Amino acid sequence: MSNQQIQKVKVKRLAHIGLWATDVAAQARFYHQVLGLDLHTAPDTPSDLDLDEANLFFALNDEPYCLGLFHDSRPPVQNGRKPVIRTLLHHLAFTVDTDAELAALAARLQMAGVAVVFGPREGEPEQGDALWLHDPDGNRIAITVADDELLPAGGNTRSRRTPLRPWALQHIALHTPRLEEMVEFYTEALGFDISDWLLRESVWLRCNTDHHTIMFTQGQQEIDHIGFAVSAESDIVRWADLLSQQQIPVLWGPGRHGAGNDLFVRFAHPDGLHIELSAGLQQYHDHDVTTPPRLWHTRSAALNLWGVMPAWLREEVQV
């Protein structure tokens, strides 16, 4: 592969998100019973597994897992001069199409001075190694080759067919104290394109036809929300009704984002992490690859064209 081809390699999809969980069992019930994600366990998983200390993996539509819950066994934060950043994010995993692309991406990252190492995949070690690295915030990132096969043979999948379920994992939104540095890393090192900017506050990045796969907002490091796609805009209202029936408060929406033009509704899982369901997200196709980023000058227009803004977004973001 030529140097020019190496420079063109980019990640293609957000494969899954790993989360630290202090109460694995409670969160497992939420993702399985409320969202309708399929709980998948490996063939050698003991029948008397203690969910409180387990790592659990969830899938949609017979694909390899899209969400992993990792028992939070990290030692307590020590008080000291230098604060320890403790976020709910365990790792992010992206895919490329081929082994050659993975090798080319590893070469480009090394040329850029990014430390990389090949190691087992989290939750699917039988599928081969992943390319592991860290972004400027220290978030762990795995890059793997897309696997066209279904879940590993011999595993067990517990499926709960709820009245509604998401179609796919769509995006993650992160707060970062290094907004410009993170944008440069994801665009230059991993090949993302910028779809929208909100002044010096937020940015939406894409790696495929979806308007965004990852969103960054200036602030203290943490996950803002995880986004799942639903198949139809009418499902957003149906989801709001379903959440109400299960006594899960709708925290924001239904609304329509300006950046992305999608309908959305947002709620929270037991640990307080926000979940967003999205329908009708703006798409970028081959003829749009040179489209310059769209600039937004007001938060209300970028985040909700219908005008309703929750209290936590009405507060000023520190830049």
Q: Output the DSSP codes for 100-153.
A: HHHHHHHHHHHHTT---EEEEPSS-GGG-EEEEEE-TT--EEEEEE---S-SPT
Identify the CATH number of the domain defined by range 168-314.
3.10.180.10
CA 97 to chain centre: 19
Going by pLDDT thresholds of 50, 70 and 90, the confidence category of residue 270 is: confident
What pLDDT, on the 0 to 100 scale, is given for residue 150? 40
Do 3-158 and 168-314 come out as alike in CATH topology?
yes
Nearest to 168 by CA among 250, 246, 229, 256: 229
Q: Are 140 and 129 in contact (CB under 8 A)?
A: no
How far is Cα 173 from Cα 171, in angstroms, rounded to an integer? 7
What pLDDT, on the 0 to 100 scale, is given for residue 158? 54
Going by pLDDT thresholds of 50, 70 and 90, the confidence category of residue 318 is: very low
The pLDDT of residue 317 is above 70: no
What pLDDT, on the 0 to 100 scale, is given for residue 109? 94
Q: Write out pLDDT tens, residues 213-263.
A: 999 999 999 999 999 999 999 999 999 999 999 999 999 999 999 999 999
Domain boundaries, the chain: 3-158, 168-314
* Percentage of residues in the chain having pLDDT higher than 70: 83
The CATH architecture one would assign to domain 3-158 is: Roll (3.10)
Going by pLDDT thresholds of 50, 70 and 90, the confidence category of residue 153 is: very low
Q: Are 36 and 161 in contact (CB under 8 A)?
A: yes
